[in-house]
Amino acid sequence: MKVEVQAAVAKIKKYAVSESGDTVEIVERPFGGLSLVLADGQRSGRSAKLVSNIVVRKVISLLSEGVRDGAAARAAHDYLRLQRGGKVSADLVILSVDLRTRTLVISRNTRTPVLLAVGDELIRLEEESEPLGVRSSTRPVIREWALSPPMTVLAFSDGLLDAGTRVGQRVPYEELFLRFHRENGRDAHVLADTLLEQALQLDQGRPVDDTSVLVLTVYHVQETDGIRRMHVRFPVPPV
């Protein structure tokens, strides 16, 4: 049996703002594997985008040079704190498949949880962690697991938690996550799209906050063609 990995992102900006304050990037690791990096800048709009860009650019630059996830997160924290004088914060999540160690690494500087399913076990990663950029003692919370298919990981910005608050409802993300892991467990884009669609329905097409959803799956296949694929789709705004 061989192993494959899929990664997917679905994101949308807050209604009636010019730009999303969330930034997401995927970077190839120099010793094999990939990392998904999500930063959510404080507040929303252009100012938040500038903050999240600062964080993500620093992280992916260091990861691409072989720096470990925790060290990259700490460096991004120090850099943001220096640039903004400790007055602006950003949440950060890094999901990594490291083929050198053959592990899944999850680094968190955020109050939003990350869900991980390994086989029949559900793990909620919600240990207390602080956003970047404010307190000098801030460190990421890091967890690591051996690659052991089937595995599904879900991370998101707080917009997914805020969706539906105007009508007193919430996205049942844990229920949808578990159903996907048990019934599919491969097509990462299916779960990412489903969760974002649910959030948009609850907000009646007017998102109350920037919302980003990241999904990573690790699964067995009988054979693989050895081809790496990436598919990106985004709307072009009118002039």
- Residue-range domain boundaries for the chain: 2-221
DSSP-assigned states of every residue in 31-90: TSEEEEEEEEESSSSHHHHHHHHHHHHHHHHHHHTT--HHHHHHHHHHHHHHHHTT---E
At 88 the pLDDT is 97
- Is residue 102 pLDDT above 90, yes or no? yes
| Cα 165 to chain centroid, rounded | 22
User: Taking the CA of residue 132 as centre, how many other CA atoms within 13 Å lie in the half-sphere pointing to its CB?
Assistant: 36
- Is residue 231 pLDDT above 90, yes or no? yes
Tell me the per-residue pLDDT of 168-219, one tens digit each, with 9 for 90 and over. 999 999 999 999 999 999 999 999 999 999 999 999 999 999 999 999 999 9
Among 158, 151, 144, 203, smallest CA distance to 177 is for 151
Tell me the per-residue pLDDT of 1-31, one tens digit each, with 9 for 90 and over. 899 999 999 999 999 998 999 999 999 999 9
- Is residue 53 pLDDT above 90, yes or no? yes
At 1 the pLDDT is 87
What dotted CATH number matches 2-221? Answer: 3.60.40.10
At 239 the pLDDT is 83
Mean pLDDT of 129-148: 97
The total of other beta-carbon atoms located within 10 Å of residue 221's CB is 12
- Is residue 238 pLDDT above 90, yes or no? no
Mean pLDDT of 70-90: 97
Average pLDDT score, the chain: 97
